[in-house]
Chains A and B, each alone.
Chain A
Amino acid sequence: MTLGVLSTNLINILPLSIVVLWACVLLLVDLFIPKDSKAWTAVLSAVGMLVAMGLSIAQFGVDTQAFGGMLRIDGFSQFLTILVLGSGLVAVMLSYDYLTRLGIQRGEYYVLLMFSISGIMLMSMAADLIVVFLALELLSIPLYVLAGFARPRTDSEEAAIKYFLLGAFASGFLVYGVAIVFGATGFTGLTEVLQAIEGGSANLTLLAVGAALILVGLSFKVAAVPFHMWTPDVYQGAPSSVTAFMAIGAKVGGFAALMRIFVTSLGALAVDFTAVLWGIAAVTMILGNIVAIAQKNIKRMLAYSSIAQAGYILMALVPYGQKEIAQDAIAAALLYLIAYALMSFAAWAVVITLEKAEGKGLELSDYAGLGRKYPVLAIIMTVSMLSFTGIPPTLGFVGKFYLFRSVVDGGFIWLAIIGVLTSLVSAYYYLRVVIYMYMQEGEPTVHRDNWVYLMAAATGIGMVLLGIFSLPLLNWAYQAAISAF
């Protein structure tokens, strides 16, 4: 590859190049920033992400590829890139004060965050299974480190080692799956795999085995049942600001790959995989929602809630074999990812505000009396919980409405019924937070930080306003979904 070609490629993926380069440089720059002014590192990383976001927005309407078709830059990747960069910015806002408070303010935090984000961006562009694996590792390894960032706190270390061991195991599944797909078709590029299937030169049985292993690996990342075991412990043990990002980033990455791989190249396996995905989605919704009821710790509750939410998004993949409906379904999933990011960040912001040192302030009973003492925080949390449940007029409702639409449209009425019934179950534990906040007496104390407050207010208002005026967001999601086909 000549230098000219290389630079064309790098320019095609400019937002990603910027984030990677910026992170590398920041790692060096951070050495010269004194220990008590790490705010600079935070600001610099935020600026880097803003620049990348601006460049990504400037790529509007671009549909091209890079590195010999291994990367694809289209509306789909752009949508997810902007979503994940936005999540990164929010994560920085959430983190700075929190890390200082916990005494774990270190510059590498922001650099690791940026590396993880670059992995998710790469994942959204991946058009080749090798790149999927590369991106998966790039997004995961910094997250393993971040999960243990509160060392020497044992639960943080436990979270990191657990996440790492199980994550490595899942990566193994993925690599093995990629290898088998290669064996079955002779290719790793998604379009080439599709051509091999259509050309009849693929061994379909072997392909199905490979696809199943890939599904296992990615299900782990999105925390779908039965690959969810790590979630509650890691979510609880990791520093809350890390969890907040992980809850969204890892899911966005996992779903990006799932959607791209299944929709682009595995349509031929729809007969088998529709049933498999149906089952995973159903079990994930049922188990996540039911076990969440038993949780008394808010981080564990949100962990199980995030498992359940993964189940709802997985519903969108079930009709992936029916092309007409698949577009609607992918659009619905993309919309729901945004809704999920908003409500999840709002909830985590409130959690971070109430959290005390040594993991105190995380029980549900610590939220008693919040509605009286801190009405704004309580309203934001309430909106978030209602949005998770899917009560209008929130974005969570619109998102679920379109998810259920694609499921019903695809003819999977029973999955939709499971979906709505588990939503009903979820109302029980989401409302319990509201009960504690408004209907119990207590004296909660919060740690006020303007950035966290600003972020919480913005996500809260966003959930309601976008819930009422969801058209622009939906249009964008549709454009992104159509471009992926």
Chain B
Amino acid sequence: MNFLLHPLILVTFFPLLGVLVILFINRENKTVIRWVALITSLVTFGISLWVLALFHPADPNLQMVVDVPWIEVAGWRISFLMGIDGMSILLVLLTTFLTPISILSTWTAVEERVKEFMIFFLLLEVGMVGVFLSLDLFLFYVFWEFTLVPMYFLIGIWGGPNRVYAAVKFFLYTMAGSILMLLAILWLGISQGTFSVPELIANASIPANIQFWLFLAFAAAFAIKVPMWPLHSWLPDAHVEAPTAGSVILAGVLLKMGTYGFLRFNLSLFPSASIRLAPFIGVLAVIGILYGAMVSYAQKDVKKLVAYSSVSHLGFVMLGLFAINLQGIEGGILQMVNHGISTGALFLLVGMIYERRHTREMDAFGGLWKVLPVYATLTLIVTLSSMGLPGLNGFVGEFTILLGAFGSQALNSPWFAALAAIGVILAAVYLLYMFQKLFLGPVDKEENRVLLDLNFREIVTIVPLLILIFWIGLYPSPFFNLMQASVTKLVETMQVAAMAGLP
């Protein structure tokens, strides 16, 4: 019983309780189902706040560790090992925070098969939180691969016209990466005799030449998920076809599983390979930043534009992580949260206009500021945050990352930061272009004159995100405090390992 009441177990598996309740509700009772799902996700968010209250930011080690033997047979110990530290706590909070918001956004958008939708959504939450908390490679893989299933259904059943293609592409692409990781996990289990990440880090006994291959195998899974250029081609399809709530979670959390994977596994387990390969990852990240930005500018569909902007933004995160210094990694983690908030909000806003007009073509709009003042103001703030305007959240993250990249020994060239800075300018270009197309100018389409502004529920969906946008933008130190100790420890151990590993 104690096991089940452990805060980390609760925060991971509480949504299952909601699933169980929903299973027994008649499918015609859509409102009840929605409320049960919303309350479940809100309670889960509450539990994650409890976890935050129990968390000691000054302690760099894993906290609230759950370690239960799971499958112990023939010399192999697979355990149910979970823990939280400064690298994961923000992402757990982000997940539990975005889930109720996404559920709220489906209130009128999803009318078909509400029961199944909510079940898949809550199952997805279990998988995502599990990914961020598990510290046993087997357990991690179980959660990692499991998240594919509900997302596949969310895209495939409730998506746009081309949904089946997008869903299958999403599934096969991501699975292609993860099976290589599975082999690497097996290899680690066989040669190191353990799947426990803390133990593997403590042993630090993976030979440098093998680290290289293991790094690549893990990176295959994570780079597809992030997605890094040139493995990003599943992302626009999945995003455009997914329902709004699916896009929010996909951009907000699922992509972070990739960057988090790099941080938790690649950097921590294979330090010498990470340092060796950092410039290569840096190059891909910078290409992603510039390529994503340029392709965004070429889009006519708002949702596609936002989707490609994710490629660009996550390029920043990757650049920060592989700067392998304090600023870079801290900025990277914060930028993961920022991207979740800003892009999540953008997808919500796109979804709201789509619900009204049933199109996302930028040419179909224009002059919306006059018709929808509230909507326009909110969109402006979110757009500016995504652009990285000082005073809003995006700036803090990107600035810290660029700072880290400039001073990085691992990247060892100021060009990375210089080129990435161009990405910031390009972001301003495509985002302002989008804003102009939608909101400025005359209202030249008749259909647009009669649109209704946001209702109370929609404002409630967006406002929590806006609060965070301002909070992180004006006073980010509580967020940095949460991760500082853990990141410092990671950077230190990496430097030690690098010294030992390099000839």
Contacts and interface: CB of A to CB of B under 8 A. Distances in A.
A413 B183 CA distance: 9
A435 B168 contact: yes
Given A420-B182, A471-B73, A431 B146 contact: no
A375 B120 CA distance: 14
Interface in B378-431: none
B59 interface: no
A405 B189 contact: yes
A1 B429 CA distance: 95
A392 B180 CA distance: 15
Contacts of B141: 392
Contacts of A470: 71
Given A391-B148, A392-B142, A404 B182 contact: yes
Interface string A318-349: 00000000011001000000000000000000
A420 to B, nearest CB: 4
B416 to A, nearest CB: 33
A439 interface: yes
B156 A438 contact: yes
A427 B175 contact: yes
A112 to B, nearest CB: 38
Contacts of B58: none
Contacts of B187: 408, 413
B353 interface: no
B1 interface: no
Contacts of B153: 438
Contact of B186 (A392, A404, A428): A404
B171 interface: yes
A420 B183 CA distance: 8
B460 interface: no
B53 interface: no
B364 interface: no
Interface string B161-201: 00110011001100110011011001101100000000000
A401 B164 contact: no
B3 interface: no
A421 B175 CA distance: 10
B50 interface: no
Given A391-B146, A438-B153, A328 B179 contact: no
Nearest to B144: A392
Given A427-B175, A428-B172, A439-B163, A474 B142 contact: no
Interface residues of B, number: 35
B493 to A, nearest CB: 28
A38 interface: no
Given A372-B113, A420-B183, A423-B179, A438 B157 contact: yes
A478 B175 contact: no
Contacts of A428: 168, 172
Contacts of A244: none
A409 interface: yes
B145 A474 contact: no
A439 B164 CA distance: 7
B190 A405 contact: yes
A408 B113 contact: no
Nearest to A332: B74
Contacts of A438: 153, 156-157
Nearest to B155: A439
Contacts of A392: 141-142, 145-146
A398 B76 CA distance: 13
B207 to A, nearest CB: 16
A471 B70 contact: yes
Nearest to B173: A424
B238 to A, nearest CB: 15
Contacts of A478: 73-74
B190 A409 contact: yes
Contacts of B180: 420
Contacts, number: 80
Contacts of A474: 71, 73
B74 to A, nearest CB: 6
Interface in A12-32: none
A172 interface: no
A431 B168 contact: yes
B21 interface: no
Most chain B CB atoms below 10 A, which of A372, A401, A423, A478: A401
A466 to B, nearest CB: 12
A211 interface: no
Contacts of B446: none
Contact of B179 (A375, A405, A420, A431): A420
A424 B168 contact: no
A168 to B, nearest CB: 40
A211 B156 CA distance: 50
Contacts of A408: 183, 186-187, 190
B183 A386 contact: no
A439 B159 CA distance: 10
Interface in A380-430: 386, 391-393, 397-398, 401, 404-405, 408-409, 413, 416-417, 420-421, 423-424, 427-428
A279 to B, nearest CB: 20
A431 B142 contact: no
A363 B16 CA distance: 35
A475 interface: yes
B23 to A, nearest CB: 10
B235 to A, nearest CB: 19
B72 interface: yes
B142 to A, nearest CB: 4
Interface string A455-476: 0000000000000001100110
B451 interface: no
A385 B180 CA distance: 21
A391 B144 CA distance: 10
Contacts of A409: 190
B175 A424 contact: yes
Interface string B116-149: 1000000000000000000000100110011011
Contacts of B73: 471, 474-475, 478
A417 B183 contact: yes
A393 B142 contact: yes
A60 B250 CA distance: 51
A412 to B, nearest CB: 11
Contacts of B146: 391-393
B149 A386 contact: yes
A439 B148 contact: no
A421 B179 contact: yes
Interface in B179-236: 179-180, 182-183, 186-187, 189-190
B72 A401 contact: no
Given A401-B186, A428-B172, 18 more contacts: A327-B74, A391-B145, A393-B142, A393-B146, A397-B145, A401-B138, A405-B186, A408-B190, A413-B187, A420-B179, A420-B182, A423-B179, A435-B164, A435-B167, A439-B163, A470-B71, A474-B73, A478-B74
27 contacts: A375-B116, A391-B145, A391-B146, A391-B149, A392-B142, A398-B71, A404-B183, A404-B186, A405-B190, A409-B190, A413-B187, A416-B186, A420-B182, A420-B183, A424-B172, A427-B171, A431-B168, A431-B171, A435-B156, A439-B163, A470-B71, A471-B70, A471-B72, A471-B73, A474-B71, A474-B73, A478-B74
